[in-house]
Structure 1
Amino acid sequence: MELKIYQVDAFSEKVFGGNPAAVVPLEKWLSDDILQKIALENNLSETAFYVKEEGRYLLRWFTPTVEVDLCGHATLATSHVLFEHEGHQGDRISFYSFRSGNLNVTKTSMGLTLDFPTDTVSKAILTQDLLDCFIQKPIEAYRGNSDVVLVFNDEEQIKNIQFDLSKIAQVQARGVIATAAGVKVDFVSRFFGPQVGVPEDPVTGSAHTTLTPIWAEKLGKNRLTAKQLSTRGGDLFCELLGERVAISGKAETYMEGRIFI
């Protein structure tokens, strides 16, 4: 069996920036075991697989170790592949995820805009297990459906944060998001997910479905600029639209290839 594969740097205007994702077009679903093995072989934070179905695309995402409910950067990367390489016509793509429902992506002046469901977020207690994850100490905690969010005093703490992955791995969540108000953007963040095989994710689109409602309330506005302060870095534009979040960014193709199974 021979499959196409693309590697795309998402939430970046140039290669070697943002978050790399693999995208594998399929004519029909392969076994979960094969999909997981491909993702492990790619060894990127996510590999996206899609199947075209009656005017829309069924979409799934795998880390090297597990299938996840939602992935922003790999959805952005898949949209880029469909628009730029796989002949999708028009300015809008309709995806359907068995785990997250309908997800739409539109070409806009800011690049590609993801239409994702807003996360359900609630204030949480700063328990000792959360405090132990970082040398710098957070001032607030929140819980979303998948992740824990820790709010810190300022951008410098996020940029220079010292963390203990073994402690983070013990937190009952997909991952832990460290965030603070930004200097040149509205807010900054970093994402750590050793629980799902991703020690630090370069840019995490899905995390911004959690971060956007938090910072919209804190800053009193619904349109926000964001930057993820990983080594590669990534820029995002977020807008809170009630039960949906619009997350915009750009992408560049790094590689095209073939998989032989």
Structure 2
Amino acid sequence: MKLWQVDAFANKPLEGNPAAVIPLAAFSETGLMQQIARENNQAETAFFVQTGEGQYDLRWFTPEAEVDLCGHATLASAYVLFEELAPELSQIRFATRSGELIVSRGEDGLLVMSLPSDPVQPFNGPKDYADKVGAALGIAPPKELYSARYLVGLWDDPKLICGIKDCGEIARVLREEYFWGMVVTAPGDEGYDFVSRFFAPDKGVPEDPVTGSAHCILTQFWATRLGKKTLKARQVSPRGGDLLCTDEGARTILAGRCALYMKGEIFL
């Protein structure tokens, strides 16, 4: 098997979010793909199979499980196709467990990705849950909590988000309300509209460096609060990454760059 490791939402290698990308003639047995993802030990390993001209089936695995949506590994897969396997293409359509995802070539090396939006709902859990979340992360409780694909916590100060040491005990607290991932966010500074981090320790991802699926939630959330359609976002993980996010209602448009870190072969 051929393998590429690509840093997504990155201007150069060693930034953004690394994803392993493996093209296949046909999908392998699910257990084997899970083993490969565990061996790769990246937040996600993407496997894709061509089904037509510019059309591919795409699946994503963390070290622990197959997931329904992964933005950065989708961007990385498109990068491998555009730059390595199918340079004649200007647009790629991926069929996934979250529906059709489209990635197009943008200007100045940007890749532009269309994903389904994930609107938030009010969180209706226990009244002391915000205190538990703050204590688990080692910071003050969030000002507000919301539910979407993940739990979403809102703080007022971006410095609090930047200062979170690690995922702490958040996995235990998330399990109480049947979540496996959490987005933490605050208004941006230094030219950014908002900042965020993402934790999913129960999926083998203590912290994800840059998370496309989280921005399917955050783009519409912050566009509504700020009265802006297009926003500049920074995921302030230790690696960090920049995203240009556009709210298109039912769809979220994310634009970013990718950098090739490694390519090789897997022998099984």
Structure 2-normalised TM-score? 0.92
1:17 counterpart SS class: coil
Deviations 1:122-174 (A, max 9, x none): 12146244343222221011111x20110011111111124553333441223
Aligned to 2:115: 116
1:175 is aligned, of 181, 187, 190, to: 181
Give yes or no for contact 1:141–1:151 (8 Å, CA) kept in 2: yes
Q: Give unpaired runs (5+ residues) of structure 1.
A: none
1:132 is aligned, of 131, 135, 154, to: 135
Cα–Cα, structure 1 residues 164 and 43, in superposed 2: closer, same or farther, change >3 Å? closer
Give yes or no for contact 2:137–2:169 (8 Å, CA) kept in 1: no
Give yes or no for contact 2:145–2:151 (8 Å, CA) kept in 1: yes
Aligned to 1:231: 238
The question of 1:199 aligning with 2:206 is answered: yes
Greater shift, 195-204 or 128-137, is seen at 128-137
* Count of residues paired in the alignment: 257
Amino acid at match of 1:87: A
2:136 counterpart SS class: coil
Q: Larger helix proportion, structure 1 or 2?
A: 2
Give yes or no for contact 1:72–1:205 (8 Å, CA) kept in 2: yes
1:250 is aligned, of 248, 254, 257, to: 257
Give yes or no for contact 2:24–2:49 (8 Å, CA) kept in 1: yes
2:36 counterpart SS class: helix
Amino acid at match of 2:154: V
Deviations 1:6-38 (A, max 9, x none): 000000010000000000000001000000000
Structure 1-normalised TM-score? 0.95
Aligned to 2:101: 103
1:216 is aligned, of 202, 212, 223, to: 223
1:141 is aligned, of 123, 140, 145, to: 145
- How far apart in 2 are the matches of 1:202 and 1:164? 12
Give yes or no for contact 2:166–2:207 (8 Å, CA) kept in 1: no
Residue identity (%)? 45
Aligned to 1:166: 169
